Amino acid sequence: MPQLSPGETAPDFTLPAADGSTVSLAQLRDSADKGVVVYFYPAASTPGCTTQACDFRDSLAALQGQGYAVVGVSPDGTDTLARFAEAESLTFPLASDPDHEVIEAWGAWGEKKNYGRTYTGLIRSTVVVDPQGTVTLARYNVKATGHVARLRKDLGVD
C-alpha cells in the first residue's frame, strides 16, 4: 500500500468508535484549530500499544491546548476498544477498522518483519492532518516508546 506524504489529501473516514458512536476525520478536523493526529496501532491491550496509547493520553491536554485532536485506529472490534479505553482511562476516540479499509487507504497496512519472519500486518504509524484535510506530517514504522515525545517536538508542543 502506498503511504501518505505531506501535501497529499488525507482520505476521509467514518468508523465505529469504542464508546458506541462513530468518529469521522471531517468531524475531528472541524473540532481542531491546527489539525488531527491519526495514529494506527496493531492491537489494543498489548504492551507496545498500551505504552503508546498512555503516552497519547498523558500528552492529550498539551496537544489539545495547541489545537490538535487525537484519534487511534486499529483493527480491533469496538468491544475490545471499549475495554482498552476503560482499563487505561483513554479519553480520546478509538476507532475500529476490522476490514482494514481505512488502515490500507492511509498506507498503514503492509509487509513487516519481526524476529526474521516476514508477514503482512498493521504498520504502527502516525499521520497529522490539517483542518483543510492536507497531510502535514506522516511517520511510518514508528516505535511505541518515545514516539509521542518526538511527535510533540515535531509539532512544537514542547
54 is an active site residue = no
Residue 101 backbone phi and psi in degrees, to 5? -60, -50
In angstroms, rounded to a whole number, what is the distance separating the alpha carbons of residues 133 and 15? 17
Cell 506530517 -> residue: 137
Residue 83 backbone phi and psi in degrees, to 5? -65, -40
- Name the β-bridge partners of 137: 128
Residue 107 cell numbers, joined: 498506507
Neighbours of 34 (CB within 10 A): 17
Residue at 138: amino acid letter: A
* Catalytic residue of the set 18, 36, 44, 49: 49
Catalytic residues: 49
